[in-house]
Every structure is written in structure tokens, then in C-alpha cells.
Structure 1
Amino acid sequence: MTFKVGDKVVYPMHGAGIIEAIEEREVLGQRQQYYIMKLPMGDMQVMIPLRSVEEVGLREVISPEEVNRVFDVLQGERTKMSQNWNRRYRANLEKIKSGDIFEVAEVVRNLALRDKEKGLSTGERRMLDSARQILISELVLAQGLPAGEVERRINEVLG
């Protein structure tokens, strides 16, 4: 998949951003083309080699129509999760790594519900915060709303 400057894209595990440039750079003695992506959340810049776009799972931001599906997932029933902390953590990590916003929304919903009932370990709390940021970053670009507004809507839906 090829992207151009100005495209809104999602980099799994990092969140959504905008391709600001396509540049040739030399890294570790190798010259190659990179997408220069600006992540508005945390004001970061990421370089993604063009040849590894498929591998890393770079994809377009969801359409405004798909935003409603994300909120449906957030409002849905909790999915069955392992009682074993380690298994649950690994399963959730795989969902986040997939780069699929609906899977990320599921992780946010499940961990938020678990937090209300039993509280979360430090690791799961960090995972919830990270998954929320990834979710918010994509919804901000998909809807063109400020991060605070998107976060407020997510909090509303999660109760």
C-alpha cells in the first residue's frame, strides 16, 4: 500500500498520525525511502521505511462511518478473558499489536470494566492507558475533533 503526504495513517502500537513527508535517509549505512509521520499525541515523529509498510501494518485511519462501530464495541458486552493475569495480558497485547481499532476498543472496554470491578495491576493499568491513547489518536483524526472531546465521549460511553 502506498501513501502520500497528508494521508492520515495508523501505525500499530503507536497510534494515528499524518504523513508529513517522504524522504530518502541514510540509516546504519543504508539509504532508503521513509515516510515521516507526525503523531499528534505526544508530539512525536516516526520514520517508517517504505519497504516495511506491510510488515509493520501501517494502514489508513478509519472512515467517519466506522467511528460509530468503535463506540458500539466500547458499549458492548465484555469478552471472556482469562483469569490468569499473564495470559490475559498477552492476549490483550496481541489485540493492540494487530493495529485493528475494533480490537483496541475491545481491550479498552474490557480493561476499563475490569478496573471498575477489581482494579488493575500496574502492567494492565499501563496497557489500558496506552490502548486509550492509540484509540483516541485515531478517533481524533477520523472525526476531526480535539483529543479532549474524543476522550470525554469515550469516558461517557464507558460510564
Structure 2
Amino acid sequence: MTKKKLDFRPNEFVVYPAHGVGQIVSVEEQEVAGITLELFVISFEKDKMTLRVPTHKATEIGMRALSSPDVITHAMKTLKGKAKVKRAMWSRRAQEYEQKINSGDLIAIAEVVRDLHRTDDQREQSYSERQLYEAALERLTREVAAVSGGDELAAAKQVGDVLDSRVAA
């Protein structure tokens, strides 16, 4: 099993499925139970969190490079689509939304934002709905920002404009 081990480099932004966009600070070796492991040290500045991921497990657990601009465009198209709300019980839907958010798949995350987005004249969101919506929106916005060069406010405006344009249509 001697494939290219380091698909990622220090200072590079990556997407970790359960936490979103982080930046690789370094690659370090650490001894755990007598075994030397090579680890990516990933900083999630917004969450004030640092994660250490074994380099040989990174792709297996779904860590990936930032999306290409084409994927961002596709995600924005997804946001414009009509919300698809299943008639299943909320607990089941919430579970599905949670899985989509933690999949690290930007298109799936955009679907959650689209499906849970509410305009002012629509019914109130429940607390759990709002939590899922905000988590998905934050993941989407952070990745859009990282791909476009790091301005989160501009990315939030871009995403907001797309959602607003959907309402106007």
C-alpha cells in the first residue's frame, strides 16, 4: 500500500465532513501506544478547534480539498431550486438533513439550506429546524468564502442574494 500518502499540504484549506472548512497547519509525527503516526494538524479557526487526523486515514474519512468553482456554481443552482420537503416525520427528516450536513458534500449541504430556508412571510422555524439550517448555511458560506479567497461576509451576501432571488421568482 504505497500510494501517494500526502494528498494535502500545510496551509491548504480542506473540508472535514463533520466540521467543514479548516486549514492544515502542519504535518507532525506523534507516538500513540508505541506506534508513530503521521498526522495532519487542522485548525478550525472559527470554532477555536484543532483536529489531528492520521494522514493515512484522511481520504478514507472523507477529508477533501475545497470544491472547484464549478461545484460552487452547481451549489448556487441547487439553492435556486424549489424546496423539496418530504412528508416524513420531522425526526426522520432532521436525521437526513444532519447526515447531509456531515457528509461534507457541498451539493447536499446546499440542498439542506434550500429546503430549510424560510422567508419572512412563511411559518416560523422550530428551534431544531433553525439549528440545522444555520449549520448548513455556515458550512456552505465558509466553503464559498474559502474557494473565492476568504471573505465570509461577501460569501454570505452571495448566498443570501441567491436565496432572495428565489423568493422573488
TM range (shorter): 0.7 to 0.9
3-state SS, counterpart of residue 26 of structure 2: strand
2:94 aligned to which of 89, 96, 99: 89
8 Å CA contact 2:118–2:125 kept in 1: the answer is no
Q: Which residue number corresponds to residue 5 of structure 1?
A: 10
2:67 aligned to which of 47, 62, 72: 62
Is 2:54 the partner of 1:49?
yes
In structure 2, distance between residues paired with 1:46 and 1:57: 14
State the 1:56 CA deviation.
1.9
Normalised by the length of structure 2, the TM-score is 0.83
8 Å CA contact 2:44–2:50 kept in 1: the answer is yes
User: Which of these two proteins has the greater Rg computed from alpha carbons?
Assistant: 2
8 Å CA contact 1:35–1:50 kept in 2: the answer is yes
Q: Which residue number corresponds to residue 141 of structure 1?
A: 146
Alignment RMSD (CA, Å): 2.1
Q: Which residue number corresponds to residue 38 of structure 1?
A: 43
Task: Name the amino acid aligned to 2:92.
Answer: R
The higher-RCO structure (CA 8 Å, 6+ apart) is 1
Is 2:52 the partner of 1:73?
no
Q: Which residue number corresponds to residue 101 of structure 1?
A: 106
Q: Decide which moves more: 101-110 or 18-27.
A: 18-27
State the 1:115 CA deviation.
8.3
Unaligned runs of 5+ in 2: 165-169
Unaligned runs of 5+ in 1: none
State the 1:45 CA deviation.
2.2
Change (3 A) 1:82 1:31: farther
Identity of aligned residues (%): 30
Q: Decide which moves more: 36-45 or 122-131.
A: 36-45
